[in-house]
């Protein structure tokens, strides 16, 4: 489908010579060293694609004249107004922007934990890195792909043909949701392994760490609500998983998204607080406002769906699939 | 396709949001990193990504990789940017300084990685797998392995590939079939077949190190109780000229 310049191979070993790396029977530890690095990197792949796609779509939306603004012609001398007058086009562009810039901040936050763990032997940073690695892989790659598809949508028919390059971004980034452990496997790792193994203790520590930072006043109340929601949902999942073996797998993808949105709520409120008084800062503050008004409310729905038992998934008879 | 590296945002995140100028002095390995150097790395990473790598993105997609009687060729447009990425030491940016790496923070590497992914995803895959497998050797390898592999991998002379997936199993490591048999000289003989191996064979480097997930003492039954599971993580050293490795490589999966 994509990454056509990457050589994807079948390897027949045919009695080739190999050398042991690490200790016998400790291969899993060695593999995870590489895997954890690769998982963050694949998240960054999604982010890179999302950014590349956004830049194409924003440029196209500014240039493309089509239709008139609902509030009256903005560019009366031209045949039509630019795509930017249309609220739904702006929704798509701002959604991409909010996820890209939130994602960039998130990627650096995970990178920071890896540095602290590797060079300072900081155990709480190590715990956080382990908790957040599956979120970085899955959430960044999911949002990267969604962003690429949204950029394609902004282009209309021109996004479907090869010349503009958008369809290539869609094809190339799709794999980031699949390889290095599918995003479903990442979500299961997050809930089944990382959250449940310590009863949600690392999540609570993360929430404490986020709560201690100064955020933009205008977002403070909703930010606090988002943190409370994550704590509440985590406690509920930990509590119910004991009696319901199918629960972690049933709620994991929704839980991962809830965690991603909560992290982005923190990072956006931080960025809004620290943004300078110039055009760059203005873009940050208005994007933060968009994130809080239009994207963060998804967490309400996620809390509701996570509250459901695994029953709705498991009741469907196998023979009827 | 045009691409502008998000340099301003990166600088904002580093110096205003996460305040690395306060954080890094607390980490001995980064104590000497000056703000000017960090800004210069971000700017130069952005320049390589936009000016050198981005132009190879669409031509590479159009030409794609080719397979001809066992020889895998990457797109023509990849040769120059890959040489620039490796020659500039970008694969060793966060690598171990004792083996030719630059020892920069992962945070900084994240920024450069995003830019290189954006500039050309397919091309950067050869890089990211090399970085990931270098980290594996840095963490788990013997000193001799570190000395043998790391300088060449940081320099992109040798690249890494990660071989886990088999045609019948991706997520479930327990049912893998590739096996390693110990030899008298301390090496292992590897047999089995791996699929979907990114960068498993190509013409961008003189050697490819295959990090291969194998069974040691392959179990008699395919599915064995957990207590009997023995697994080992091997790297098989494949050179195109040596005769003691025979690896056949299929065509690129479309």
Task: Identify the pLDDT of residue B218.
Answer: 61
Contact at 8 Å (CB) between A148 and A173?
yes
Are the C-beta atoms of A153 and A159 separated by less than 8 Å?
yes
The reported pLDDT for the residue numbered B36 is: 97
> Would you place residue B228 in the very low, low, confident or very high pLDDT band (cuts 50, 70, 90)?
very low
pLDDT of residue B189: 84
pLDDT at A245 over 80: yes
Note whether A277 contacts B: Cβ–Cβ < 8 A. no
Burial B58-73 (b: 16+ CB within 10 A, else e): bebbebbbeeeeeebb
SS3 state at A239: helix
Tens digits of residue pLDDT in B179-201 = 888 889 878 888 888 888 888 88
pLDDT > 70 in chain A, percent = 100
Spatial neighbors of A108 by CB under 8 A, at least 6 apart, are: B13, B14, B17, B18, B107, B110, B111
Measured from the Cβ of residue A311, the count of other Cβ atoms closer than 10 Å reads: 12
Assign B208 to helix, strand or coil.
strand
Average pLDDT over residues A53-76: 96
At residue B216's C-alpha, the angle toward residues B210 and B222, to 5°, is: 105
Q: Which residues on chain A are in Cβ contact (under 8 Å) with B118?
A: 48-49, 51-52
The pLDDT of residue B194 is 86
A215 in helix, strand or coil? coil
Determine the pLDDT at residue B90. 97
Report the gap between the CA of A71 and the closest CA in chain B (Å).
Answer: 32
When scoring A25, A34, A132 by the number of chain B Cβ atoms within 10 A, the one with the most, hence best to mutate, is A34
Percent of chain B with pLDDT over 70: 85
A180 among known catalytic residues: yes
Q: Which of A51, A180, A257, A273 is catalytic?
A: A180
Mean pLDDT over the full length of chain B: 84
Is residue B238 very low, low, confident or very high in pLDDT (cuts 50, 70, 90)?
Answer: very low
pLDDT > 90 fraction of chain B, expressed in percent and rounded: 57
Report ipTM (2 d.p.). Answer: 0.96
Pick the more confident residue, A167 or B148.
A167
Q: How many CA atoms does the CB half-sphere of A148 hold within 13 Å?
A: 28
Partner residue opposite A5 with nearest CB, options B2, B65, B129: B65
Cβ proximity of B2 and A59 under 8 Å:
yes
Confidence of residue B243 (pLDDT cuts 50, 70, 90): very low
Amino acid B242: pLDDT: 22
Is B12 in contact with A275 (Cβ distance < 8 A)?
yes
Q: Is B172 exposed, middle or buried (0-12, 13-18, 19+ CB in 10 A)?
A: exposed
User: A241 to chain B nearest CA, in Å?
Assistant: 22
Above 70 in pLDDT, residue B230? no
Q: Does A22 touch chain B (CB under 8 A)?
A: yes
Give pLDDT tens digits for A154-196.
Answer: 999 999 999 999 999 999 999 999 999 999 999 999 999 999 9
CB B109 within 8 A of CB A40: no
The larger pLDDT score, comparing residue B219 to residue B183, is at B183
- Asked if A15 reaches chain B (Cβ–Cβ under 8 Å), the answer is yes
pLDDT digit string, tens, across residues A112-142: 999 999 999 999 999 999 999 999 999 999 9
Q: Which of A147-156, A204-213, B7-16, B203-212 has the lowest mean pLDDT?
A: B203-212
Smallest CA-to-CA distance from A234 within A299, A168, A278 is with: A299
Cβ contact B98:B129 at 8 Å? no
Q: Does residue A215 carry a pLDDT above 50?
A: yes
For the stretch B19-59, pLDDT in tens is 999 999 999 999 999 999 999 999 999 999 999 999 999 99
* Contact status, residue A262 vs residue A299, Cβ threshold 8 Å: yes
pLDDT of residue A5: 95
What are the tens digits of pLDDT across the range A259-300? 999 999 999 999 999 999 999 999 999 999 999 999 999 999
Quote the Cα angle for A294-A169-A190, to 5°: 60
- CA dihedral sign, ordered A98, A101, A107, A109: negative
A34 in contact with B at a CB cutoff of 8 Å?
A: yes
- CA nearest A112 in B: which residue? B107
Q: Do A115 and B235 touch (CB under 8 A)?
A: no
Distances (CA, A) of B133 to A31, A131, A212, B156, B211: 9, 22, 37, 12, 7
| Rounded Cα gap, residues A40 and A130, in angstroms | 11
Residue B249: strand pairing partners: A11
Do B193 and A13 lie within an 8 Å CB cutoff?
A: yes
DSSP track, A30-44: HHHHHHHHHHHHHHH
Note whether A21 contacts B235, CB cutoff 8 Å: yes
Q: Is the pLDDT of residue A27 over 80?
A: no
Question: A38 to chain B: nearest residue by CA?
Answer: B132
- Gap from B138 CA to chain A (nearest CA, Å): 10
Nearest alpha-carbon partner for A204 in A259, A256, A248: A259
Chain A residues lying within 8 Å of B250, measured CB to CB? 9-10
pLDDT score, position A299: 98
Two tokens, residue A199: 């009863």
Please report residues of A whose CB lies closer than 8 A to that of B106: 111-112, 114-115, 118
Strand, coil or helix: what is B95? coil
Q: Which residues on A lie below 8 Å from B109 (Cβ)?
A: 111
Contact B211 A11 (CB under 8 A): no
pTM value?
0.93
pLDDT above 70 for B232: no
Question: Which of A2, A3, A4, A11 would best serve as a mutation to test chain B binding (most B beta carbons within 10 A)?
Answer: A11
Which residue, among A1, A2, A6, would best test binding to B if mutated, counting the most B CBs under 10 Å from its CB? A6
Contacts of A155 in chain B (CB under 8 A): none
Residues of chain A found within 8 Å of residue B188, distances taken between Cβ atoms: 17-20
Q: Show the beta-strand stretches assigned E in A68-186.
A: none
Across the range A221-225, mean pLDDT stands at: 98
DSSP β-bridge partners for residue B35: none
- Which strand ranges, in their side-by-side order, compose the sheet holding B248-249? B193-198, A8-12, B248-249
Quickly state the pLDDT bin for B224 (edges 50, 70, 90). Answer: very low
Of A15, A28, A33, the CB nearest to B135: A33
Instruction: Give the 3-state secondary structure of residue B6.
Output: coil
The three-class DSSP label of residue B239 is strand
Residue B219's pLDDT is what?
A: 54
Largest CA distance in chain A: 75
Interface probe, candidates A2, A3, A4, A9, chain B, greatest B C-beta count within 10 A: A9
Read off the tokens for A76: 């009366």
Q: Identify which of A19, A56, A164 has the shortest CB distance to residue B187.
A: A19
For chain A positions 255-274, those within 8 Å of chain B (CB to CB) are 267, 270-271, 274
pLDDT of residue A24: 77
Question: Do the chains contact at A7 and B247, CB–CB below 8 Å?
Answer: no
CB-side exposure of B241: number of CA atoms within 13 Å? 2
Residues A51, B118: C-beta atoms closer than 8 Å? yes
Query: Quick one: which H or E segment has residue A210?
Result: helix A201-211
CA distance linking residue A318 with residue A150, whole number of Å: 35
């Amino acid at each position: 489908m994509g990454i056509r310049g990457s050589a994807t191979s079948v390897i027949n070993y045919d009695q080739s010579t190999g050398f042991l790396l690490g200790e016998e029977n400790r291969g899993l530890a060695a593999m995870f060293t590489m895997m954890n690095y690769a998982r963050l990197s694949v998240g960054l792949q999604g982010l890179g694609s999302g950014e590349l796609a956004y830049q194409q779509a924003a440029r196209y939306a500014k240039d493309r004249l089509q239709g008139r603004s609902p509030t009256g012609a903005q560019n009366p001398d031209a045949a039509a107004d630019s795509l930017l007058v249309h609220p739904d086009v702006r929704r798509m562009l701002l959604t991409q922007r909010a996820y890209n810039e939130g994602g960039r901040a998130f990627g650096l936050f995970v990178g920071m934990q890896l540095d602290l763990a590797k060079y300072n032997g900081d155990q709480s940073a190590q715990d956080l890195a382990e908790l957040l690695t599956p979120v970085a892989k899955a959430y960044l790659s999911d949002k990267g792909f969604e962003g690429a598809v949204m950029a394609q949508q902004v282009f209309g028919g021109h996004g479907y043909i090869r010349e503009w390059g958008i369809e290539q971004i869609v094809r190339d980034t799709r794999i980031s949701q699949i390889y290095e452990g599918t995003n479903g496997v990442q979500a299961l790792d997050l809930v089944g392994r990382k959250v449940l193994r310590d009863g949600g203790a690392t999540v609570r520590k993360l929430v404490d760490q986020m709560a201690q930072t100064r955020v933009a006043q205008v977002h403070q109340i909703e930010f606090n609500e988002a943190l409370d929601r994550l704590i509440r949902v985590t406690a509920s999942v930990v509590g119910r998983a004991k009696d319901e073996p199918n629960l972690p797998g049933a709620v994991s993808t929704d839980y991962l998204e809830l965690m991603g949105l909560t992290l982005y709520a923190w990072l956006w409120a931080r960025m809004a607080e620290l943004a300078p008084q110039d055009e760059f800062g203005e873009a940050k503050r208005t994007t933060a406002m968009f994130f809080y008004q239009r994207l963060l409310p998804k967490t309400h729905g996620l809390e509701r769906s996570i509250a459901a038992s695994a029953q709705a998934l498991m009741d469907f008879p196998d023979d009827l699939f | 396709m045009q691409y502008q590296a998000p340099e301003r945002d990166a600088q904002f995140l580093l110096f205003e949001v996460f305040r690395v100028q306060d954080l890094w002095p607390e980490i001995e390995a980064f104590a000497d990193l000056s703000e000017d150097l960090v800004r210069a790395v971000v700017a130069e990473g952005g320049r390589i990504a936009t000016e050198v790598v981005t132009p190879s993105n669409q031509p590479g997609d159009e030409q794609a990789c080719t397979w001809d009687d066992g020889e895998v060729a990457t797109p023509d447009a990849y040769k120059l940017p890959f040489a620039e990425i490796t020659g500039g030491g970008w694969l060793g940016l966060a690598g171990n300084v004792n083996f030719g790496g630059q020892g920069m923070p992962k945070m900084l590497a994240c920024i450069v990685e995003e830019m290189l992914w954006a500039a050309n995803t397919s091309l950067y895959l050869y890089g990211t797998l090399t970085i990931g497998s270098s980290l594996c050797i840095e963490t788990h390898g013997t000193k001799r392995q570190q000395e043998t592999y790391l300088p060449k991998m940081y320099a992109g002379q040798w690249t890494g590939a990660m071989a886990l997936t088999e045609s019948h199993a991706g997520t479930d490591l327990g049912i893998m079939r590739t096996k390693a048999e110990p030899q008298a000289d301390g090496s292992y003989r590897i047999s089995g077949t791996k699929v979907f191996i990114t960068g498993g064979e190509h013409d961008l480097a003189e050697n490819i190190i295959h990090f291969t997930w194998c069974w040691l003492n392959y179990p008699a039954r395919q599915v064995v109780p957990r207590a009997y599971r023995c697994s080992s993580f091997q790297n098989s050293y494949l050179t195109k000229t040596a005769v003691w490795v025979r690896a056949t490589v299929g065509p690129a999966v479309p």
